[in-house]
């Protein structure tokens, strides 16, 4: 006797139970809380930004302020009178610490003498000019050529008081001849520095223009020709 087998009808697919592995329940999704805005902090930030911008604008405006001042239009040697053509106007942004001569004072500057050597393009300062002549009445201007060993290492400046000292002639010292000047304190001539030249590249000789009494001018010029001189700084007043 034969047996008939009937195939089983497939049932609905099994649906996995909710949850994680092992049948554990799934975790609920995290809810991200939005940060609360604080109006006070926002207002403070806006105020700080505005203050910084205002400070920068004020600084830019202040630095951009320009002043009409005088500059040197051409070289003027020390002691020379300043003319109208020696000065030119310029508009510059200056630090308050910089001392400059305003354009409005040009008339008072013209006619004064250069207290220092004025160079083209330099900013004019009140201390660069003087109403007092370095060569006074009754004085003569004498150029004194000096080797490095005949003057101090300190830099000389116009208006400085010095002494021109006569020294024994080198030829007399070598030959044993009698000195032309009597023994004792060497002869000195009081002088005022008017201008200081540049040192010669090869020899280092510097020519110093000095103002001396007219009675001493010729003798000093003759002594300079022999080279038997030296320049020393005069004692300062009160020392």
Kindly tell me if the per-residue pLDDT of 147 is higher than 80.
yes
Per-residue confidence band for 62, with pLDDT thresholds at 50, 70 and 90: low
Q: What phi and psi values does residue 234 have, to the nearest 5 degrees?
A: -75, 150
Q: Determine the length of the chain.
A: 239
pLDDT value, residue 228: 92
pLDDT value, residue 204: 93
Exposed / middle / buried, residue 115 (Cβ in 10 Å: 0-12, 13-18, 19+): buried
Kindly tell me if the per-residue pLDDT of 19 is higher than 60.
no
pLDDT value, residue 41: 67
Average pLDDT rounded to a whole number, residues 167-173: 63
Q: Percent of the chain scored above 90 by pLDDT?
A: 39
SS3 205: coil
Calculate the average pLDDT of the chain: 78
Q: Are 194 and 130 in contact (CB under 8 A)?
A: no
Q: Percent of the chain scored above 70 by pLDDT?
A: 67
Quick: pLDDT tens for 213-227: 999 999 999 999 999
Between residues 139 and 40, the one the model is more confident about: 139
Kindly tell me if the per-residue pLDDT of 32 is higher than 60.
no
Quick: pLDDT tens for 173-208: 444 555 555 556 788 999 998 888 889 999 999 999
Quick: pLDDT tens for 125-136: 998 998 877 788
Residue 207's closest CA among 146, 116, 135?
146
Its sign, for the CA torsion 224, 174, 177, 182, is positive
Quick: pLDDT tens for 90-115: 988 878 888 889 999 999 999 998 87
Torsion, Cα 52 57 59 61, to 10 degrees, reads -170
Average pLDDT rounded to a whole number, residues 42-59: 66
Q: What phi and psi values does residue 57 have, to the nearest 5 degrees?
A: -65, -40
pTM: 0.50
Torsion, Cα 141 146 149 153, to 10 degrees, reads 60
């Amino acid at each position: 006797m034969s047996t008939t087998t009937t195939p089983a009808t497939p049932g609905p697919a099994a649906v996995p139970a909710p949850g994680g592995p092992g049948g554990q329940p799934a975790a609920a999704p995290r809810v991200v809380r939005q940060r609360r805005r604080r109006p006070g902090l926002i207002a403070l930030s806006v105020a700080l930004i505005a203050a910084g911008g205002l400070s920068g604008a004020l600084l830019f405006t202040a630095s951009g302020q320009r002043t009409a001042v005088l500059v040197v239009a051409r070289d003027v040697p020390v002691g020379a009178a300043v003319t109208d053509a020696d000065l030119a106007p310029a508009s510059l942004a200056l630090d308050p610490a910089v001392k400059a001569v305003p354009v409005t004072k040009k008339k008072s500057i013209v006619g004064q003498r250069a207290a220092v050597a004025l160079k083209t393009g330099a900013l004019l300062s009140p201390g660069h000019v003087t109403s007092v002549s370095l060569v006074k009445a009754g004085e003569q201007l004498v150029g004194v050529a000096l080797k490095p060993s005949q003057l101090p290492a300190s830099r000389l400046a116009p208006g400085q008081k010095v002494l021109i000292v006569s020294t024994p002639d080198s030829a007399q010292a070598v030959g044993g001849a009698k000195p032309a000047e009597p023994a004792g304190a060497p002869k000195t001539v009081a002088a005022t520095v008017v201008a200081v030249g540049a040192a010669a590249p090869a020899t280092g000789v510097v020519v110093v223009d000095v103002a001396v009494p007219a009675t001493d001018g010729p003798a000093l010029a003759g002594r300079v020709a022999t080279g038997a001189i030296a320049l020393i700084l005069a004692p300062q007043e009160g020392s």
